[in-house]
Amino acid sequence: MFLFDAHCDILSAIATPEELISNQHHWDVERALSNGSFIQVLSLFAEGKNSAEIKSKMETQLATALSAEKNYSDKIKILRKNEDLSRWDTSTETQKIGCVIEAEGAEILGGSLSEMDRLYEEGLRILTLSWNYDNDVCDSIAGNNRHNGLSAFGKQVVEKAECLGILIDLSHASDKTFSDVKDISRKPVIASHSNSRSVCSHRRNLTDEQIKGIAESGGVIGINLCPDFLNDSGNADIMDIIRHIEHISALVGTKVLGFGCDLDGIDSLPDGISGVQDMNKIIEILLKTNYKEEDVKGIAGLNFTRLLRHVL
């Protein structure tokens, strides 16, 4: 079954294009391909509060991804336009990973709207507005309420991104940032790696109202495998993943659901999952429940590619 994972931080964990193919982390091309046809969103990510340093590290990671595509064109294809998707979501392409570039934090823009044009040309298609700190665009759910939501510059960023065809990702956004973006957005928004706050009370998760807001926009939510976001105890297994899927599907239906595993961005994984090679274990359990096969295919990947076809 075709799989789409909407968030992975492997680029921040490696130093060379070669390591993207094979490594000892949660994700690499070889293990992803063991699942069959697969699209991976590769995140540009750097910790810290210094915006210039964060941007520099993100640019280095982007260069690594572009070099990997050039040096391993038989294994990696960065997807930039609508028609690129069809070889993967029809399960025709099983020898090569399709990759979508995401920036986890608007620091990548360096405070300049014009940077978005260059980054779009190089492959950026998803922009997560913030990580765990407030920036010049918005407040983070873990921040200090610097702007009381979305800044004036942030509003310009959202508008330009939507004009270009860059998806806005609201994972990590403060509740006020979330509502501000929803107020001005004219395109679908996503939460690439977030769960349900009703099922697990961690602040990084989404409220039921936020889940409904994403559904109303036509967006998709990627279920995060971080144990702290799956179970209030901090200990989780595959059935905790299923509980979040069940809650969200009962609330807004299955077409809003996907995966955003956060591999290599989290310190531990649920029991039964050791890396990308185990994603099909989740699919197997879903197929044994009351979900129709068509719905499981949507959750596995087709919901996200349907959205990308609408936006790109």
- pLDDT (average), residues 163-174: 98
290 pLDDT more than 90? no
| Distance (Å, whole) CA 219 – CA 60 | 30
Say which residues have a Cβ less than 8 Å from residue 176's Cβ, sequence separation at least 6: 139, 145, 148, 149, 150
Q: What is the pTM of this model?
A: 0.98
DSSP secondary structure of 252-282: H-GGGEEE---BTSSS---BT--SGGGHHHH
- Report CA torsion sign: 143, 144, 150, 153: negative
pLDDT digits (tens, 9 = 90+) for 106-124: 999 999 999 999 999 999 9
- What does residue 102 show for φ and ψ, rounded to 5 degrees? -125, 145
pLDDT at 312: 80
Q: How many domains does the chain have?
A: 1
CB 269 within 8 A of CB 227: yes
CB 256 within 8 A of CB 219: yes
* Spacing of C-alpha 166 from chain mean position: 13
Query: Residue 224: which of 20, 41, 1, 77 has the closest Cα?
Result: 41
CATH number at residue 137: 3.20.20.140
pLDDT digits (tens, 9 = 90+) for 48-84: 999 999 999 999 999 999 999 999 999 999 999 998 9
- From residue 81, alpha-carbon distances to 76, 149, 182 in Å are 15, 31, 25
Q: Residue 271's domain spans which residues?
A: 3-311
pLDDT digits (tens, 9 = 90+) for 138-158: 999 999 999 999 999 999 999
Which residues partner with 138 through β-bridges?
A: 150
What mean pLDDT, rounded, does the chain reach?
98
- From residue 139, alpha-carbon distances to 7, 82, 98, 134, 260 in Å are 20, 31, 32, 4, 22
CB atoms within 10 A of CB 118: 11
310 pLDDT more than 90? no
User: Is residue 6 very low, low, confident or very high in pLDDT (cuts 50, 70, 90)?
Assistant: very high
Q: What tokens were used for 140?
A: 């983070």
